[in-house]
């Protein structure tokens, strides 16, 4: 099967690399010639590094590179079996691309979006054969991150979903099936990791360096929320938060932060701009955390309780199974444990008690305990 990729940015190029390494001829389309040139150069450099590290042979690198065709016209994609769109996270832009593809490719060609949070049903609105539209959400960097969320809309042919899932599995990826709801599994469940950390910082519970230290050293996360959002880029992370919040009809659980909004407004996007929560300019002093174990444990307990609550809600609403929710969070964002398994270890009654305390103190619906958590505690069971 030949594959089409729309968008020659980092994500599109990463997806093309994965497919090409798996033996597919891949057509990467972009409207910008310089983007195509950069992508081709980047792919060559990545493959050369893999050869240097003895991960692949020189022959494999050459064959992979030759399978990727960078094109500035959609017409070469006419006969592909699967197209994955990986452009800007903007609904109208994605809809425009899908309508162009709908007029070009065969009725049996699968049209997929790499969106991280937008509605698959909306992206595929107006497509002549909506049963062939789905989400195939890779995580950045696509060649390194194992997880892929497969997201059917209400119209998608589930037999086709299983065929595509098997294909992506053959690319040595770990797939989970997610319902077409805002943020799917990972970007829904992960919101409190960022938002609750920012809220604690704003309230003066602890500074950013201390919260990051606590989540790494006590919580076991690879990165703290502030350093991680600086790495992701606030122009990306904030937009996902805002999108999920808006699509959930402004549910307080997903409310964005004014502090992060100000970073975006000031174009302080994080590492890529030289400054975000932290200053990355040459010679800038790195802030020192307060290594207080009691404070650090409180920070971890509060954020983990919020993650568990969101995972429980995703389970309640059938966004994924318990196993797939935990798998998504460990493979998609490198959590040390799946939040539902973690909750069972802590004790669901303990987690519920922490949420009830926060809800009573703040009177804010962001802390309302999930009904499934309450029911499971009442039944004396685990997730």
Average pLDDT over residues 300-308: 98
Q: Is the pLDDT of residue 126 over 90?
A: no
* Residue 24 bears catalytic tag: no
| Domains of the chain and CATH, by start | 2-177 (3.40.50.720), 185-379 (1.10.1040.50)
* Residue 149 bears catalytic tag: yes
Beta bridge pairs of residue 169: none
Could you say which DSSP state residue 217 is in?
I
Q: How far is CA 374 from CA 21, 194, 309, 380, in A?
A: 47, 24, 10, 10
pLDDT in tens, 2-11: 999 999 999 9
* Residue 202 bears catalytic tag: no
What's the pLDDT band for 117 if we cut at 50, 70, 90? confident
Among residues 2, 24, 131, 137, which one is catalytic?
Answer: 137
Average pLDDT over residues 222-239: 96
Average pLDDT over residues 227-251: 95
8 A C-beta contact, residue 299 and residue 215: yes
Burial pattern 124-138, b for ≥16 Cβ within 10 A else e, equals bbebebbbbbbbbbb
Q: Is 239 helix (H, G, I), strand (E, B) or coil?
A: helix
- Cα separation, 63 vs 57, in Å, equals 10
8 A C-beta contact, residue 52 and residue 92: no
Q: Is 185 left (phi over 0), alpha (psi -120 to 50) or beta?
A: alpha
171, burial (CB in 10 Å: exposed 0-12, middle 13-18, buried 19+): middle
8 A C-beta contact, residue 212 and residue 183: no
8 A C-beta contact, residue 319 and residue 179: yes
292, burial (CB in 10 Å: exposed 0-12, middle 13-18, buried 19+): middle
Farthest-apart Cα atoms in the chain, separation: 63
How confident is the model at residue 158, as a pLDDT? Answer: 97
How confident is the model at residue 160, as a pLDDT? Answer: 97
Cβ atoms < 10 Å from Cβ of 96? 12
- Cα separation, 321 vs 286, in Å, equals 41
Burial pattern 318-353, b for ≥16 Cβ within 10 A else e, equals ebbebebbbbbbbbbbebebbbbbbbbebebeebbe
Q: Is the pLDDT of residue 121 over 90?
A: yes
Nearest partner of 240 among 136, 158, 137, judged by Cα = 137
**What sign does the dihedral 162-188-311-14 (CA atoms) show?**
positive
Among residues 85, 131, 149, 196, which one is catalytic?
Answer: 149
8 A C-beta contact, residue 221 and residue 342: no
Average pLDDT over residues 153-159: 96
pLDDT in tens, 10-20: 999 999 999 99
- Cα separation, 28 vs 69, in Å, equals 6
Among residues 116, 119, 237, 309, which one is catalytic?
Answer: 116
Nearest partner of 115 among 130, 128, 134, judged by Cα = 134
* Residue 257 bears catalytic tag: no
If one compares 126 and 294, the residue with the highest pLDDT of the two is: 294
Could you say which DSSP state residue 289 is in?
P
Nearest partner of 310 among 147, 196, 150, judged by Cα = 196
Among residues 114, 187, 195, 344, which one is catalytic?
Answer: 187
Q: Is 172 left (phi over 0), alpha (psi -120 to 50) or beta?
A: left
pLDDT in tens, 307-352: 999 999 999 999 999 999 999 999 999 999 999 999 999 999 999 9
Nearest partner of 115 among 93, 86, 145, 76, judged by Cα = 86
């Amino acid at each position: 099967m030949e594959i089409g990729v729309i968008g020659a940015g980092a994500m599109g190029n990463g997806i093309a690399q994965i497919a090409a390494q798996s033996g597919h001829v891949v057509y990467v389309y972009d409207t910008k010639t310089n983007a195509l040139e950069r992508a081709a150069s980047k792919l060559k450099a990545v493959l050369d590094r893999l050869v240097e590290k003895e991960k692949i042979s020189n022959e494999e690198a050459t064959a992979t590179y030759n399978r990727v065709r960078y094109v500035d016209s959609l017409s070469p994609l006419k006969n592909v079996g699967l197209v994955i769109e990986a452009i800007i996270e903007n609904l109208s832009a994605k809809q425009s691309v899908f309508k162009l593809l709908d007029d070009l490719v065969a009725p049996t060609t699968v049209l997929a979006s790499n969106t991280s949070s937008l509605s698959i049903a909306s992206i595929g609105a107006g497509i002549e054969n909506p049963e062939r539209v789905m989400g195939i959400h890779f995580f950045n960097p696509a060649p390194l991150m194992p997880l892929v969320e497969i997201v059917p809309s209400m119209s998608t042919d589930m037999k086709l979903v299983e065929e595509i899932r098997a294909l992506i599995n053959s690319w040595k990826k770990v797939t989970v099936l997610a319902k077409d709801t805002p943020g799917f599994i990972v970007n829904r469940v992960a919101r409190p990791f960022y938002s609750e950390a920012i809220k604690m910082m704003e309230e003066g519970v602890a500074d950013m360096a201390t919260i990051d230290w606590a989540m790494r050293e006590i919580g076991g996360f690879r990165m703290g929320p502030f350093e991680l959002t600086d790495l992701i880029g606030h122009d990306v992370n904030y937009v996902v938060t805002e999108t999920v919040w808006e699509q959930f009809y402004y549910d307080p659980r997903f409310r964005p932060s004014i502090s992060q909004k100000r970073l975006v407004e000031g174009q302080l996007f994080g590492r890529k701009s030289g400054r975000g929560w932290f200053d990355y300019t040459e010679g800038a002093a790195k802030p020192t955390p307060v290594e207080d174990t009691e404070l650090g444990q409180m920070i971890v307990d509060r954020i983990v309780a919020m993650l568990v609550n969101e995972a429980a809600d995703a389970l309640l609403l059938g966004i994924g199974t318990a196993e797939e929710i935990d798998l998504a969070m460990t493979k998609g964002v490198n959590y040390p444990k799946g939040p539902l398994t973690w909750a069972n270890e802590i004790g669901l009654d303990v987690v519920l008690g922490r949420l009830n305390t926060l809800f009573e103190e703040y009177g804010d619906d962001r802390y309302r305990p999930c009904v499934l958590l309450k029911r499971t505690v009442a039944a004396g069971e685990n997730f």
